[in-house]
Amino acid sequence: MSDLLCLERVTAGYAADIDVLRNLSLTVPAGKITGLIGLNGAGKSTLMKTICGFLRPKTGAIRFDGADITGIEPHALIRRGISCIPQESSLFPYLSVEHNLRLPLEALVHARPGLPRAEAARRLDEALEEFPALGAKLKSPAGDLSGGQQKMLEFAKAHVVRPRLCLIDEPSIGLAPKIAGEVYQWIRLFSAGGMGILLVDHNVRRVVNMAEYIYVLSLGEVTAQGRRSDFAGNLHEQVRAWLGVNF
């Protein structure tokens, strides 16, 4: 399986003399879930912002399917085949659920060569079949949805554009256990459909159970990495050692 996303010795930060990410390299293969775990402040969200073009690396390169996308403008991600489901909401709260779903499709329709409108309509229908709870809320403002429904809409937005790579940042934060369980089912659905996924989550055990390959991030550096089998055994003790903390 070829590598879809490659970060090559990336250093990035918000101030000229402070580096949050330090010489960081990782890969995400096509059609697989890659996990990233680390304590608060480790640099996980900074990594996502750097990949998505909100923060340009000081050094290093980011490649998607072999093409250099270092510092890509965030609005260009969809046309490149990249979607992001952020920890914070990316919805337009005063627009309806339907409009929130149609916006990314319209971006593809107007892109060159573009997505046929009939195909866009079919994708919208399929998303409502996959996420039927949204059908009853189609005309409701997205801001009126519950937290779980808003997260569902975030995943439905990604579903309609059929990205080759989906970046998912802390998808279960603030959700009830039942809804969080559904979120992880959606992630498996995406992976089964052939998407490459970079999953960042505070739920270490869940990431290890789902991901084919896992990176441990500490103070902006990859301190451990390996396949799921490498993380077998006493996970609590391993992660404590890798992150250098007691918990």
Query: Domain map of the chain by residue range?
Result: 1-81+163-247, 92-162
Strand ranges for the chain from DSSP E? 3-12, 21-29, 33-37, 59-64, 67-68, 82-85, 165-169, 196-200, 213-218, 221-227
Examine the pLDDT at 245 and tell me if it is beyond 60.
Answer: no
The C-alpha angle with vertex 242 and arms to 202 and 14, in degrees rounded to 5, equals 60
Beta sheet of 3-12, edge-to-edge order: 21-29, 3-12, 59-64, 67-68
pLDDT at residue 234 in the model: 63
pLDDT at residue 173 in the model: 87
Over residues 220-237, mean pLDDT: 81
Examine the pLDDT at 236 and tell me if it is beyond 70.
Answer: no
Confidence band for 40, pLDDT divided at 50, 70 and 90: confident
Confidence band for 235, pLDDT divided at 50, 70 and 90: low
For 213, the token pair is: 């390959």
pLDDT at residue 247 in the model: 44
8, 10, 72, 70: which is closest to 220 by C-alpha? 10
Examine the pLDDT at 222 and tell me if it is beyond 90.
Answer: yes
Question: What dotted CATH number matches 1-81+163-247?
Answer: 3.40.50.300
Examine the pLDDT at 217 and tell me if it is beyond 60.
Answer: yes
- Coil, helix or strand for 47? helix
Over residues 198-204, mean pLDDT: 90
> pLDDT tens-digit profile of 51-105?
999 999 999 999 999 999 998 888 888 888 999 999 889 999 999 999 999 999 9
